[in-house]
């Protein structure tokens, strides 16, 4: 046996015309019972399976596939997004093809090209931290395109982002309202746009509460949990901080490590929920932006565009909410 059986093989086996097999396979009703039986028997005998790739190249036919590019599928943050998108895609009868950019601009661009060449009907992208493709010079037509989680300066696409500044402001304000005057900001590099927004929200809250910002209390190089832990131990020992806004969940985990190691503890609020948050004592309060909702929203926007929604592209900002669990009181 050389390759996979084709419709033609089935037609020959069943002594019918190719088109009749096509009709049968596609569930069209106008087929005589005897022929239908013969065709099904031929299909079973040959182990025929239709070739959707071949079908999809016909004009008017689509691949019924969505593409998703994220940083790293192993990261629970991204996989939650991916899961929400996959689930929504599945509801619409779509398959999801996923690529991880590892936050690398080149890899990201390769994935964009590959997925477009694969003719996905829609593309959802979490842009990498580093410089990526200049979207403005990407020639149309591009499929339904949605940027997720991070804003991109390209008005031909929709975007779904969380209210990072608003959430950071909520958290910092909660700490200030409980008397915090030396509240630390602990986060990752400001090359990451979400970090810049969260720092801006932190500053807004400080200003609103009449607190002068102390640059010594702002840490923006905590890439891993242990980095954050080291920085926070130092802040606790040398800077007399009385509150911590942990700008991502790695920073929050780092704070827990620092508390454990140093025996000291100050009020703490994190950004983005994490599994250990409810298990520690007291439980860690966090700003939660619902990434599941973000993923679903992005997918639904794609499907809206696919079904003809031509309204102006826009950026959808999803609210961030403060989940207080106790750690904000120290």
* Footprint on this chain of a copy of itself (rule: CB under 8 A): 1, 3-4, 44, 46-47, 49-54, 56-57, 59, 63, 65, 72-76, 79-80, 82-84, 86-87, 90, 95-100, 113-119, 139-141, 253, 256-257, 260, 274-276, 279-281, 292
DSSP secondary structure letter of residue 104: -
CB of 71 closer than 8 Å to CB of 101? yes
Binding partner of residue 82 among a copy of itself, DNA, none, CB cut-off 5 to 8 Å per kind:
a copy of itself
CB of 69 closer than 8 Å to CB of 102? no
Find the shortest distance in angstroms from Cβ 289 to a copy of itself: 16
CB of 287 closer than 8 Å to CB of 312? no
CA-CA-CA-CA torsion sign (164, 135, 127, 73): positive
* Neighbour count for residue 240 (Cβ, 10 Å): 11
Q: Is residue 45 part of the contact set for DNA (CB under 7 A)?
A: no
Which among 7-15, 169-177, 216-224, 312-320 is the span making contact with DNA, rule CB under 7 A? 7-15
Binding partner of residue 62 among a copy of itself, DNA, none, CB cut-off 5 to 8 Å per kind:
none
Phi, psi for residue 285 in degrees, rounded to 5: -75, 145
Tokens encoding 250: 């790695």
Query: Is the CB of 1 or the CB of 312 nearer to a copy of itself?
Result: 1
267-301: b (≥16 Cβ within 10 Å) or e: bbbbbbbbeebeebeeebbbbbbbbeebbbbbbbb
**How far is residue 302's CA from residue 66's CA, in Å, rounded to a whole number?**
9
**CA angle (164 as vertex; 160, 165 as ends), nearest 5:** 130
Parallel, antiparallel, or unpaired: how do β-strands 315-318 and 268-271 relate?
A: unpaired
Find the shortest distance in angstroms from Cβ 112 to DNA: 17
Query: Is the CB of 18 or the CB of 318 nearer to DNA?
Result: 18
Binding partner of residue 281 among a copy of itself, DNA, none, CB cut-off 5 to 8 Å per kind:
a copy of itself
Which residues within the stretch 59-78 sit at the binding site for DNA (CB under 7 A)? 59-61
Find the shortest distance in angstroms from Cβ 27 to DNA: 10
Find the shortest distance in angstroms from Cβ 322 to a copy of itself: 22
Query: Is the CB of 17 or the CB of 324 nearer to DNA?
Result: 17
Find the shortest distance in angstroms from Cβ 65 to DNA: 15
Task: Give the binding site for DNA (CB under 7 A).
Answer: 3-4, 6-8, 15-20, 22-23, 25-26, 29-32, 34-36, 50-51, 54-55, 57-61
């Amino acid at each position: 046996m050389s390759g996979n059986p084709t419709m033609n093989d089935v037609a020959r086996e069943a002594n019918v015309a190719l088109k009749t097999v096509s009709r049968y396979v596609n569930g069209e009703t106008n087929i005589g019972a005897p022929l239908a039986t013969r065709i099904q028997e031929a299909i079973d005998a040959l182990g025929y399976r239709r070739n959707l790739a071949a079908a999809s190249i016909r004009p008017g036919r689509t691949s019924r596939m969505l593409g998703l590019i994220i940083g790293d599928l192993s990261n629970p943050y991204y996989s939650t997004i991916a899961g929400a998108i996959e689930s929504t895609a599945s509801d619409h009868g779509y398959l999801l093809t996923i690529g991880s950019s590892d936050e690398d601009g080149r890899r990201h661009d390769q994935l964009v090209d590959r997925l477009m060449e694969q003719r996905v009907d829609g593309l959802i992208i979490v842009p990498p931290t580093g410089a990526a493709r200049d979207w403005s010079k990407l020639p149309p037509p591009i499929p339904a395109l949605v940027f997720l989680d991070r804003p991109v300066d390209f008005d031909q696409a929709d975007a779904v982002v969380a209210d990072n500044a608003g959430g950071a402001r909520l958290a910092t304000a909660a700490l200030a309202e409980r008397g915090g005057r030396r509240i630390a900001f602990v986060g990752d590099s400001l090359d990451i746009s979400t970090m810049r927004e969260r720092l801006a929200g932190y500053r807004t809250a400080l200003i609103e509460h009449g607190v002068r910002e102390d640059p010594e209390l702002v840490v923006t190089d905590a890439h891993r949990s242990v980095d954050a832990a080291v920085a926070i131990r130092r802040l606790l020992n040398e800077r007399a901080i009385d509150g911590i806004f942990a700008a991502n969940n790695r920073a929050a985990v780092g704070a827990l490590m620092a508390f454990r190691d140093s025996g000291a503890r100050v009020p703490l609020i994190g950004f983005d929920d994490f599994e250990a948050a409810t298990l520690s004592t007291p439980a860690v309060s966090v700003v939660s932006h619902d990434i599941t909702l973000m993923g679903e929203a992005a997918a639904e926007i794609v499907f809206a565009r696919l079904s003809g929604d031509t309204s102006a592209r826009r950026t959808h900002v999803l609210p961030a909410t403060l989940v207080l669990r106790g750690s904000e009181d120290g």
